[in-house]
Every structure is written in structure tokens, then in C-alpha cells.
Amino acid sequence: MGMTENLLSTGQWLVTAVLFAFILLAAVRSIDWQTLRRDNALQHSLFGAAVILGFVWQLRAGISPGLSIHIFGITVITLMLGWGLAVLSGLMALVITVVTGKEPPVMYAANALITVMIPALVTHAIMLWERRRNFRNFFAYIFFCGFFAAGFSVAAAGLVMCLLLWTGGVYSFDELIHEYIRYLPLFMIPEGFINGAFVTGLMVFHPDRLSTLDQRRYR
């Protein structure tokens, strides 16, 4: 899900650029750089995820000019790496989409905000909520942090994108409802299933790769 054409006004472009810079700074400050330097497996996960996402994001469908949909995959990356590293991995993946011509360079900050940062932050917030609730069944982690977080991430990102297009006068509210928003539940289901399935597989076979998973809480 991203804007494939330069549809934002100058004011919107500046606002998205400022938000992009602010969230990127917060992400960089949240990363444990010493652990990243020492952990080769974590480095491989970071760069491997960027490459995989970069190629997965080549597969997309267009609905209307400037609108496209694709699988995000940010939720499982956030649960694996933490939200800070997930943002960096997603930004590297976006570079691939820009190089291959799928998205314009001028829209990098806006698409990073929609495709990477909002899904990572929504997933992180739901993960923190699940942690505070102190569930003792590992299915809670799979369903809340995997399935539901992925679905809500898509919904949040899609609504923000529609808000930008509506306030910029690109589409009317009725057009966005008719051509995009009413389809959001259909986008949420496959996103939730794919991310949830990967989280389930990692939890069963490689739980150590899920850095946000506290295995001591679950029985």
C-alpha cells in the first residue's frame, strides 16, 4: 500500500517529511547498536528482511491513480527485530522499490510513513498492550501480536493514506469510500493471515528469532 505518483501538496510533503524524520530519529535511538554489532544472526535478519520485503513489494495491484495495494509484512519483522530495526529494514526495502521504479523518489518519506512506520508503531503498541495484560497462553501472542496487529496495521496505514489524499483534494471522501476504504477489511484478512502464519512458524521452530517474545510468561 503506497502512493505510486506524486499526489501530495507542498505542505503535505513537508509535514510527512517532518514526521518521517521525527519517527526515524526515535527508531534510531531505540536500537541497541552494541547488540546489533555483536549478533550476526540479528544482522542477517535485518538485511535479509529488507531484501525479501523489497522484492515482495514489487507485487502490487493498482486500484486508482496513485493508489496501490500489496502485502506489508512489517508486523512479523517488528516482532522479530523490534520496531526500531523493523523501520530501518523497511526503509531499505523501500529503496529497492524506488530503484526499480515502483515508487517515485519524491514520495519516499510519505510512503515510508504509510508502509513502514505506521505499521511498525501499531504492531509495537499492540505488542506492549499484550505484554501489559500479562497473558499466560502463547496463543495470545500469536493472535494479538501476529494476526490482529497485522490487520490493524493495514487499516491504520490505509486510513492515513486516504486522509492525505482527501485533505490534498486528490479524491473526494465519497470516492475514497467507494474505491478504497470499503475494501480495507479485505486487505486486513490476508495481511493478518500471512503475518500470523509466519509468527506461528517462528514461535514453534525458532522462538529465539522473535526478540519481542518473552517465553517465560507462557505455559
Amino acid at 88: L
Predicted TM-score (pTM) of the model is 0.92
Question: Domain boundaries in the chain?
Answer: 10-217
Rounded to whole angstroms, how far apart are CA atoms 80 and 74? 10
Class of domain 10-217: mainly alpha
Contact between 153 and 40 (Cβ < 8 Å): no
Report which of 76, 57, 73 is spatially closest to residue 191, judged by C-alpha positions: 73
Rounded to whole angstroms, how far apart are CA atoms 31 and 47? 15
CA torsion angle for 113, 141, 139, 148 (degrees, to 10)? -20
**Per-residue pLDDT tens digits of the chain, which is 219 residues long:** 566 566 778 888 899 999 999 999 999 999 999 999 999 999 999 999 999 999 998 887 666 666 667 789 999 999 999 999 999 999 999 999 999 888 888 889 999 999 999 999 999 999 999 999 988 888 899 999 999 999 999 999 989 988 988 888 888 888 888 878 888 888 899 999 999 999 999 988 888 889 998 878 776
